[in-house]
Structure 1
Amino acid sequence: MSLEKFCNELICTSRDLEWEAKLMPGYASKQFKGREGTADVALPEKVVGLQLGDYPVLAGEIDLHDTDQVRQAIKQFHNQVVIARSYMEASQVINTHLILRSTVVDEATDWHVLINLIERDEAVCRKLVWKAGDKEEFSCAELISRTFLARPWRKNDMVNNAPLDHNQNLVERVLIGKGLPAKTAKQWIEYARKFNDEPLIMIPKLVEAWRKGK
């Protein structure tokens, strides 16, 4: 799966969520917005800018050979993110993600360690690495399930008639455990439910029930 096709998968997934999703060429620009000339910093050779809902995303490719090579590549992507920020709204910056597709993996190295090195480094922005396996469609879906695009609850069956009274029983046990008489604890729960939107009424009643229960 090419980087372009991978980006299309991200866009399609976003649109399935009814989010606006589009390519953002400015995020992949070699120059800061409003400035002339290419930025005088090392930049990745291949990167694609996307806007997925409220999330700015830079998608790129990285080789997983050794630690020094990975650190150098991440530095280049960090430079790209800094340029991309000049094309974002201030409120968008905190949501920036860098998603990297591994193109070459040296099986002689522990690529698990290299991926952890990348993903645990949250300097500049959040990072995720996609190591495409033999079943690329599956591994792509697995990556998406780890991103802000995941909506696992859409796949779960709805549960009707859930035992909501368990919460009340838990609260009652906690109140009794903190020293309230059982009768007072029941009154507190009743008042909290009945006067939840009327604190000026609820609070005096809680105090009155506590005094009577002492």
Structure 2
Amino acid sequence: MLQCRSHDSNSPDDDYHSSRNIAISLFRRYRNVIDRGGGDNLKEFISAGVNAYAVGCTEEGLRKELTAIRESGVEIEALQNYGGSTSVKSKILAEEVDECILWLSIIFITILCTPQPTIVRWSSTPPVSDDIRLQWKGFCAVIANAYYMRGMAWLPVKTLQLEQMAVSGCAEEPSVVASRMRLVFSTLEVVSPQWPRV
């Protein structure tokens, strides 16, 4: 069963023709952020995540795709470095799948936290499981509220750690919480820009 509705795409590598292609494309962009840092790389990952949301992908469906690829032992080629012809292939690790899908889930939940549906979804299937939604909705909502109501682009990490404590009884390291916050704010900037570009 296809987890994402396929549609005609003019993307250079037909990223959006199957849930497998979408999963690979997202994973390559995720790895790019990890290897080369955020900024534009993070925006590319978020844009790919927003597209996956729009075409009806689910966090569970994409996790299954990446897990199947990992278990088959297929190596994923890194995104090309412009101008360079070196390509690095490597196997997918289980923890990479978990973290990539968590990032994606946070993007999906952030979209759900926007006041009006900023991204139209082609599927009525919920994008994330109830467990993930319950775990992360408050976190994303606190940030979305700060973004829309107070025009903020940053929150104290302590505030978000308290939110995590309230929901799951433990909080992540400050640096991890800060990177998750950056992911939410960057997603909001992509799907619902509030300020004119300088």
Instruction: Tell me the TM-score normalised to structure 2 length.
Output: 0.25
**Greater RCO (CA < 8 Å, at least 6 residues apart):** 2
- Looking at secondary structure, tell me which structure has more helix per residue: 2
Instruction: Tell me the TM-score normalised to structure 1 length.
Output: 0.24
Larger-gyration structure (1/2): 1
- Looking at secondary structure, tell me which structure has more strand per residue: 1
